[in-house]
């Protein structure tokens, strides 16, 4: 099992065993290089931990514990968790500021504790088999357990083709589960298990008096919190670099981190041959402004297709976009350059309302309140200047396309209905057999059923933010695009915008400080305008995207694509209608820069077929050979 995830920790391996328990660890050494080996036991030998991630406030916690008489044998953050658990039991997680997934075996109580960080940065999966509980940072480790087989969960696939990711604890694998973010699992001797949440993302009631009314004061506090979050994430016994996309978020983090890097900040970017996706001009401007040592990896024609099977092996789930592939290449560049840790700007869009979907929802509400207006649908054109196809459409088409006025204003999923409906259209390619298995199941309604009771009392913007931050962020952004692509090359990503104190502060801000009119992340721009070039500080959000179906057709066509989407493999998989897929393939080949639905369907079908081949086909071939 440990060997299966050696890419996550190529520096050292360790194993601990006792009666009824075994812990394995693949180490990526970043803090306590010489004395942080794991699994680690306390001095009494009764507490043992296997830990993936970082505790960023471990220095402060260690000093507090020393003041209580605690003695430390190592300089690692791992030992801090052990002492804190010994002091507080499972409540120790409340004091941890970090990205973590860990297991602590308590020999005195004969119990195991599993824990995962608040925002869901680090993954943790588990399966019950043969009367035992197995857990790991990636599912591929669980598949090393004799008798645990990979089988696709049809409902998970339906959720992916609707919501972009399964809703935890469900995973793409039937009967294999994911511990949800901000959760603990306690497993007693004998197998009794309890799971509970220890933190939740919440927002003020929409009618409550605002906690912050002075924008300048709020901006100053934000700047202080973000600076401290960045400082803590620069803590390491190895150099820390930074991703630099050319957008506001990564530029802010890089600008804050640059003065904190003792040997100068290293920055890393992806460039594209496609002008529609390339942001290299902004990346270069920011790197020059900061004086960083800048490195880039180009994603040219055929590069995405070349790595896509590997990408799916690491995402461990089907995906609807190719965006993880360039990030897989980028983390490979970081590893080649000798770094292990990078800061990124992920999380700012969820925390400060940066996505187009937030602005789109506001315009749709305007249209819904005045359905006869012929002017307001034109606002949709302003939202998507980087999508030339929308610019030629009529007001009637735009209003219809975005569902303006068609969704009840009190629908809890109002903000996301156009996306959900547009994505769910990809399910037209499901086979009759799969449709029959899914009869009566509604992925969107399952999402709605998971919303907290307080959700209805929140401002519409906060409702939309919660949907992004609670589900899509850990389910897709931090997983398929984040941890899995970075850790494929043994790179640890750190996310200052997801410091839980900063997240809580941002959640308490009035909506108009985050989305001012149609200006996204207003308060963040105000708080950081003095450290960025004007062109970047005022730049409109351009979401990170990569070429989709065009990466696999025409001169980029690869043999595995033709096979995976061919009739023989489609019928063997039983998930998609071969005739419909054939027409889709022909359509994308003739018009490789088509619309969202065709692109998402093409990538979704291809990635599902590759998932089947990687996780079920190999096992089937081994079984046949035996």
The binding site for L-glutamine comprises: 77
The answer to whether the CB of 103 falls within 8 A of the CB of 135 is yes
**Cβ-based burial of 586 (10 A; exposed 0-12, middle 13-18, buried ≥19):** exposed
Give the C-alpha separation, 34 to 577, whole Å: 55
Give the C-alpha separation, 392 to 371, whole Å: 21
- Give the list of residues 6+ apart from residue 140 with CB closer than 8 angstroms, or none: 4, 5, 313, 316, 615
Residues annotated in a binding site: 77, 270
Alpha carbons within 13 A on the beta-carbon side of 161:
30
> Of 422, 369, 364, which is closest to residue 398 (Cα–Cα)?
364
Give the C-alpha separation, 31 to 340, whole Å: 11
Return the residue matching tokens 């919440």.
202
Residues 237/492/118/214 CA torsion (nearest 10 deg): 80
Give the C-alpha separation, 176 to 148, whole Å: 9
Residues annotated in a binding site for ATP: 270
> Of 202, 88, 179, 196, which is closest to residue 453 (Cα–Cα)?
202
DSSP 145-169: STT----B-HHHHHHHHHHSS--TT
Query: Residue 175: left if φ>0, alpha if ψ -120 to 50, beta else—which one?
Result: left
**Cβ-based burial of 102 (10 A; exposed 0-12, middle 13-18, buried ≥19):** buried
* Tokens, residue 22: 């075994």
**Distance between alpha carbon 122 and the CA centroid of its chain, in Å?**
9
Q: What is the DSSP letter of 73?
A: S
Helix-helix angle 417-424:154-163, to 10 degrees: 130
Burial 419-447 (b: 16+ CB within 10 A, else e): bbebbbbbbebbbeebeebbeeeebbebb
Give the C-alpha separation, 516 to 522, whole Å: 6
Return the residue matching tokens 């560049």.
333
């Amino acid at each position: 099992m440990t060997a299966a995830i050696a890419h996550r920790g190529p520096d050292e391996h360790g194993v601990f065993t006792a009666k009824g328990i075994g812990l394995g660890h693949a180490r990526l050494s970043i803090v306590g290089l010489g004395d942080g080996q794991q699994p680690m036991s306390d001095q009494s030998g009764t507490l043992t931990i296997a830990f993936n991630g970082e505790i960023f406030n471990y220095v402060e916690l260690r000093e507090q514990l020393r003041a209580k008489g605690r003695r430390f044998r190592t300089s690692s953050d791992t030992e801090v968790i052990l002492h804190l658990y010994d002091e507080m039991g499972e409540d120790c997680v409340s004091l941890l500021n970090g990205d973590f997934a860990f297991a602590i075996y308590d020999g005195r109580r004969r119990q195991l504790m599993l824990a995962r960080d608040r925002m869901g940065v680090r993954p943790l999966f588990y399966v019950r088999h043969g009367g035992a509980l197995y857990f790991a940072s990636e599912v591929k480790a669980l598949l090393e357990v004799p008798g645990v087989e990979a089988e696709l969960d049809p409902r998970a696939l339906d959720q992916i083709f609707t919501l972009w990711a399964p809703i935890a604890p469900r995973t793409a694998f039937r009967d294999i589960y994911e511990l949800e973010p901000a959760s603990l699992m306690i497993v007693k001797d004998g197998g009794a298990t309890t799971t509970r949440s220890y933190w939740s993302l919440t927002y003020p009631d929409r009618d409550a008096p605002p906690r912050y009314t002075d924008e300048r004061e709020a901006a100053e506090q934000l700047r202080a919190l973000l600076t401290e979050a960045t400082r803590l994430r620069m803590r390491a016994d190895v150099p820390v670099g930074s991703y630099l996309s050319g957008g506001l978020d990564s530029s802010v983090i890089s600008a804050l981190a640059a003065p904190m890097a003792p040997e100068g900040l290293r920055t890393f970017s992806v460039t594209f041959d496609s002008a529609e996706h390339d942001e290299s001009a902004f990346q270069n401007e920011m790197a020059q402004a900061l004086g960083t040592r800048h490195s880039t990896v180009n994603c040219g024609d055929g590069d995405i297709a070349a790595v896509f099977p590997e990408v799916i092996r690491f995402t461990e789930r089907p995906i609807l976009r190719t965006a993880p592939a360039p990030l897989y290449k980028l983390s490979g560049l970081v590893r080649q350059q000798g770094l292990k840790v990078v800061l990124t700007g992920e999380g700012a869009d969820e925390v400060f309302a940066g996505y187009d979907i937030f602005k789109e929802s506001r315009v749709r509400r305007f249209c819904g309140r005045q359905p006869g207006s012929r002017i307001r649908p034109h606002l949709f054109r302003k939202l998507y200047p980087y999508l030339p196809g929308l610019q030629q459409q009529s007001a009637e088409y735009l209003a219809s396309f975005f569902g303006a006025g068609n969704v009840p204003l009190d629908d809890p999923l109002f903000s996301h209905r156009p996306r959900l409906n547009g994505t769910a259209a990809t399910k037209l390619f499901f086979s009759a057999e799969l449709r029959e298995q899914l009869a009566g199941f509604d992925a969107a309604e399952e999402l709605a059923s998971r919303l907290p009771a307080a959700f209805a009392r929140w401002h519409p913007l906060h409702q939309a933010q919660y949907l992004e931050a609670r589900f899509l962020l850990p389910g897709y952004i931090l997983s398929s695009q984040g941890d899995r692509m970075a850790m494929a090359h043994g790179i640890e990503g750190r996310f200052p915008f997801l410091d839980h104190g900063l997240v809580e502060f941002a959640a308490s801000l009035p909506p108009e400080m985050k989305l001012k009119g149609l200006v996204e992340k207003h308060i963040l721009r105000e708080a950081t305008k003095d450290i960025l070039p004007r062109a970047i500080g005022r730049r409109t959000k351009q979401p990170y995207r990569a070429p989709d179906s065009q990466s696999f057709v025409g001169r980029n066509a690869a043999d595995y694509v033709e096979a995976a989407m061919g009739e023989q493999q489609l019928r063997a998989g039983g998930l998609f209608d071969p005739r419909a897929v054939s027409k889709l393939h022909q359509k994308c080949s003739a018009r490789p820069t088509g619309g969202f639905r065709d692109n998402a369907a093409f990538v979704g079908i291809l990635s599902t077929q590759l998932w089947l081949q990687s996780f079920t086909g190999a096992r089937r071939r081994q079984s046949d050979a035996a």
